[in-house]
Structures are given as C-alpha cells and as structure tokens.
Amino acid sequence: MEIQSIFTKTNQLKISIIDNPYDYGEFKICFSLVYSIQNIEGGDIAKKVGRYYEINSLQKDVTLTLQQPRIGSYNLSCGPEGLFVIGKNEEKLECNIIPLQFEEIIPEIIYSEDLEKIFHPIIPLPLTYNLKDEFINIINLDFKIPSSENNFFKIFNNFIKVTNIKFNNTNGHEINFVKKDFEQDEYKIFLDENLITIHYSDYGSKVYSIITLIQLFNFYKTKLPLGIIEDKPILRWRGMHLDCARQFYTIEEIKRLLDYMCFFKLNRFHWHLTDNEAWRIQLKCYPDLTNFGAFRGFKELIPPFYGTGYHKNGGYYSQEQIQELIHYAKQLNIEIMPELDLPAHSWTLLQVMPELRDLSTNIQSEDVGNYPDNTINPAVEETSVFLKNIIDEVSELFTFSIIHVGVDERPKGSWEGSPKVIEYMKENNISSFDELQDAYMNNIINILKDSKKITAAWNEAALPPHNDIGSSGSAGKIDKSCVIFAWEHPDVGLMSVRKGFQTILCPGHKTYFDMAHNNATNERGICWAATIEVKEVFDWKPLKGYELDEKENVLGIQGQLWSETITNKNYFDMMINPRLATLAEIAWCSESQRTWENFRSALKNNLELLSKMGWKFHKF
C-alpha cells in the first residue's frame, strides 16, 4: 500500500490510496494537520483531537477541504504529518508514504546577492563605531588575557573553535578589563596598537564586549583596526521564546539556540513547557504529568499530535537538566523564564488530572485549535491545591524573578455550565467569566509574590481579546505587577502600556517565526498572522506611536517559535535564522542608526561563522 497526498488546483488536499490490498472501511488513515478539516469526501472522521485525525477511508481518494490560509495557498507544512495506517484490529499496517505534491507551484523568491563594499560588520550595530583606517597585524590570531579570566573565556569556546582565535596567558595582543560605573550592558572597547582595553559595567557587558571582538576578528581576519567602540542596548528585554510542548527539543539543542542568542546579544529565553499537546517539566509533586503527559503515540494516553507518528515519542526535562540549562544560560548572560500555559491550553494536563475540571458541567467547549474541554476550573478545590503546589515548586526550581503563566485563548464556553463555577461566582460576587479569570489571575499573582516572584502572562490576562476567535479575556481587574506579553496585534502593546503594565512587544505579524517567509510552495510555516521575510522584521519599528513616558513601560521585544510545523528538526534553523538575528538588531540599536544595506552585508558575514557552527539559514 502507498499513500499519496497532493494539493489540487482547487486547493483541496487529496489523499490517494495506491495498491490497496484491503477492503475500504477496514482501515484508518491517521495524521495531523496545521489547518483544520472543514469538509471531507470519500471518507469520514473516526476520531479528532485538536488537529490530529483518524480517517475511515471509504474509497480510493479521500478529498479534504481545509481552513483557508490568509495567503490563499498552501505550502510544504500544510499536508498530512506523521501519517500511518491502522487496520481493523488496531494494528499498524505497512505503508509507503509518498512526499507531498502540488498540482500548481508558486515559485521561490529570488533574492539579490548584491552587498555593500564598505560596512560595519558587527550585529547588533554598536552605538558608536569609530574605527580608523589604520591596522595592526595579529600574529597567529593570538590574544593574551589575564589568567584570572580563563574560566570566563571558556564560555566562548563554541565560537572560538570555528574562528582560529586563541586566547592564552603568555603571548599575543593583550586584552585588559576595567570595571566602570556604566549603565546595564554598556561597554567600551579601546583598540590600541599594543593593547585592547575593555571598560564594562557588569557581567553582561563583559560578555557582549567579547562577542563584539569575536565578530570583529572574524571579519578582519589577521589584522585589527585601531579605534573605539562604545555600545549599550536601547531595550532591556531582548528575548526568544521556544515552544517545547508541540515538539520536544533536547537540552543540547536548546543550548545551541542559547549560543546563537548570546552571539547576537539576546538575554531572555522564554521556555514554553506545557500546552495542549504535552507537559514537559518534571514536578516532584505530580510525577504522572511527565510519566504520561510528556509522550505521545497511537497507543499512548496522548495521541500523536503534529507529526509524532505511530510510535511512542517525546520527552521531558528533569529538574537536574533544568538546573544545568539555567547555569549554562547564566554564563551566556541569559535568564530563563519558564511558562506553564494555564488555565486553557491544558488538554494534556486534563487527561492526566481530570479532577481539575468540573465533571458535572453540561457544556462542552472547544478552543481555536479544536481541543475540547481544555481549561482547568478555578472553582474546583483540587485546582487551588494544584496551582499552589506547582507554582511553589517551579518558583524554587527557577532562579529568574519572573514566571509566565499563559492565560491566552481561553474558550468562551470553558466555564459555562459548571455548577461549581456558578456557585463560586455567587459566593464571591463575581458577575462575569472574565471577572472570574481576573480572580484566578490575582490568586496566582499572590502565590508568586509569596515566593518573591513576578507574574507574566499573554495579553488576554489584562485585556479583552483583540480578535474574536471564540476566546475570552480579562475584565480589567488584575494586579498591575503582572508583565504582559502583547502578541495579538501592535495596538495591544500600546493598550497594555497605557493601562500601566510593563509590556513585552511580540506581535505575531513581526515576531512569530513559525510564519512562512513568503507564499512560495516550497516554504515551510503557517501564515495566520502574516508571511514574514527577514527584511520585514528589519523594517519593524516597535516603539513607533509610543510617547516618551509610555516607552518606560516597554521592557523589550521578543521572537517566538511555535513548533507545530517543526515536524523534522531539519526545519528548525531556517525558521529562526536569520530572522532572530534581525530581531536582535531591532532590540539593541535605534532605528535612526541602522540601514538595511549595512545590516544585510554584516549579516552575510556573520552567517559564515554560524554556518561553520552548523547553522543553516533562510535566504534574504
């Protein structure tokens, strides 16, 4: 048996069964999609959870009409993923899967290869860059450092080994450090004929000064220009979010991303650890969350979402691994903020702990991703105990001062029909479900305050949803200490700031790196928010429209990689690189400093070094 999937000229997905030895109706085709099925011909849906489907095949061709992308066409991410066939006795049948095909092809974008002949090679661009047209030769790329700095320089080993730079205690051009009373992350580099002197304010600025030198050495090779570099960032929070629920990434794979972040002076890693599809963080208070919620497969409690396939697959992060990663990140001047996505986005959690719902409810809700009843119930006594236990344990495990608790895309009907909710609202004089969400949030904020932690959440925690996608939000009554991540629309960030919340700007149409770069057929990614080319990230002006006093509440900006489409690890690099490097430029230097022509040339140069480290990149 062979299965062939093809998008037709009418944008329907046709799944054809070739050389079929079985009777139709006696087997199921199982797979996941990134767009929901709207209509089916030639088969029927035997099971659906989220966007995982089991289809009874009733004839040779099964034709699916899917949700329509905003660009009106589909790409390589839009076909069936993790496809397998199950027989009438629930056994896996042998089947050859033919790669996805298209009847009509939208051609690839052809990008210019032209580069500036003269450009500043450092990314992000320093505040001032006064280098002379005078050089000294660096013999054997040797640099002499104080022996007291040996351990510090070890954190740069992954960069150094691909540049042939050598830091030692005996010979070479000397590097000295001088501590100064500068602003956070501010540094100055004095490049003199016999000495490199670095003035730095704190650990971060010390790290960034060496990153700047590595990029400079990588560009000039065996010579070094004389002059002065003065530098500091415009934004405090320069972040990257990775969704480790939809797909599991090993600790080594995450370390590789952290290295990339450090190379471009990003300082916050937002670790998305739970969602509808998995629970990835080991908690000693509830071991079954990872025993059963961290693995997916046809015969597992959690079905094979987003390309998992028939066999058991997945993983979780032990507390020892988490501590290891926190230590590694701190060496790179990166703080790790964990996220537990609650109260919605909790389908997997509720399969393991159904007692966190009111099982007497008479209404079934469904979220925007088609997950039924995926929201924990704040009126259930077990929920209060659960929240206190997990928050206390996570607060002790993570050293960073901020814990993210989700609060996005809560389905409108999630708490309707629950007798316990109705009773709780009457007892506490709560008049709406949005007010109930605010009460839930304020409870979490207070629990985290007891652990000396600050709460963070997506923008629906503080505001009504910007778009009507069947979700609910806030009634405007949560504690102003909550840090808001404004993802839905640029206007949401401005609204959050004007309501007095410290805010991270991360609008989907500029910072969601799971979006396709363009509408070419051979691209990967989805496009509900936009298609995002590297140049479009560069053109983003995050602080446009903010008054001077309002900018004080903008902590920074952040890129996001949601992992629904990363069904093969080979796709990871080209979704991130170089869009994340481009976001780093936006986060560090003012728009009046930067030009696309200079940045593009500097980016090409630095990508040569990253390519030696194994990073692939999307053209731009």
The predicted structure's pLDDT at residue 456: 99
Are 156 and 215 members of one domain? yes
173-179 and 195-200: which strand pairing?
Answer: parallel
Both tokens assigned to 119: 């450009």
Torsion of CA 544, 405, 559, 514, to 10 degrees: -120
Asked if 261 contacts 239 with a C-beta cutoff of 8 angstroms, the reply is: no
C-alpha to C-alpha distance for 522 and 361, rounded to whole angstroms: 45
Are 438 and 574 members of one domain? yes
Summarize the confidence of residues 35-47 as an average pLDDT: 98
Does residue 107 come out as left (phi exceeding 0), alpha (psi in the -120 to 50 range) or beta? beta
18: domain CATH number? 2.60.40
CA distances, 411 to each of 61, 76, 470, 472, 486 (Å): 35, 30, 6, 6, 19
The predicted structure's pLDDT at residue 155: 97
On whether residue 274 sits in a domain, the answer given is yes
Residue 545 C-alpha from the chain's centroid:
26
318: domain CATH number? 3.20.20.80
Q: What is the pTM of this model?
A: 0.98
Are 149 and 29 members of one domain? no
Are 345 and 433 members of one domain? yes
Are 25 and 80 members of one domain? yes
Q: If you write DSSP's letter for every residue of 174-229 in order, what string do you get? A: EEEEEE----TT-EEEEE-SSEEEEEESSHHHHHHHHHHHHHHHHHHTTEEEEEEE
3-state secondary structure of 612: helix
Tokens 């004089």 locate to 429
Are 296 and 399 members of one domain? yes
Asked if 586 contacts 543 with a C-beta cutoff of 8 angstroms, the reply is: no
On whether residue 109 sits in a domain, the answer given is no
User: What are the residues whose beta carbons fall under 8 Å from the beta carbon of 510, sequence distance 6 or more?
Assistant: 530, 532, 536, 537, 540, 542
Q: What confidence tens digit (pLDDT) does each residue in 584-613 have?
A: 999 999 999 999 999 999 999 999 999 999
The predicted structure's pLDDT at residue 441: 99
Confidence of residue 164 (pLDDT cuts 50, 70, 90): confident
C-alpha to C-alpha distance for 50 and 303, rounded to whole angstroms: 10
On whether residue 117 sits in a domain, the answer given is no
Summarize the confidence of residues 207-234 as an average pLDDT: 96
On whether residue 32 sits in a domain, the answer given is yes
191: domain CATH number? 3.30.379.10
Looking at the structure of the chain, the number of domains it has is 3
Q: What domain range is 567 assigned to?
A: 237-612
Please count the helices (runs of H) and the strands (runs of E) in the chain: 17, 31
373 DSSP 8-state letter? S
Are 467 and 568 members of one domain? yes
Are 78 and 160 members of one domain? no
Are 600 and 494 members of one domain? yes
Confidence of residue 70 (pLDDT cuts 50, 70, 90): confident
Q: Which of 198, 231, 264 represents a domain boundary (last residue)?
A: 231
Which percentage of the chain shows pLDDT scores above 90? 96
CA atoms within 13 A on the CB side of 188: 13
Is 116's pLDDT higher than 90? no
- For residue 610, which phi and psi values (nearest 5 degrees)? -65, -35
On whether residue 356 sits in a domain, the answer given is yes
Are 216 and 302 members of one domain? no
Q: Which of 214, 231, 248 represents a domain boundary (last residue)?
A: 231
CA atoms within 13 A on the CB side of 395: 21
3-state secondary structure of 49: strand
Average pLDDT, the chain: 97
Please return the burial class of 566, using the count of CB atoms within 10 Å of its CB with bins 0-12, 13-18 and 19+. buried
Are 383 and 498 members of one domain? yes
On whether residue 119 sits in a domain, the answer given is no
Are 193 and 252 members of one domain? no
Summarize the confidence of residues 132-160 as an average pLDDT: 94
Q: Which of 174, 208, 231 represents a domain boundary (last residue)?
A: 231
On whether residue 59 sits in a domain, the answer given is yes
On whether residue 289 sits in a domain, the answer given is yes
The predicted structure's pLDDT at residue 118: 84
CA end-to-end span of the chain: 41
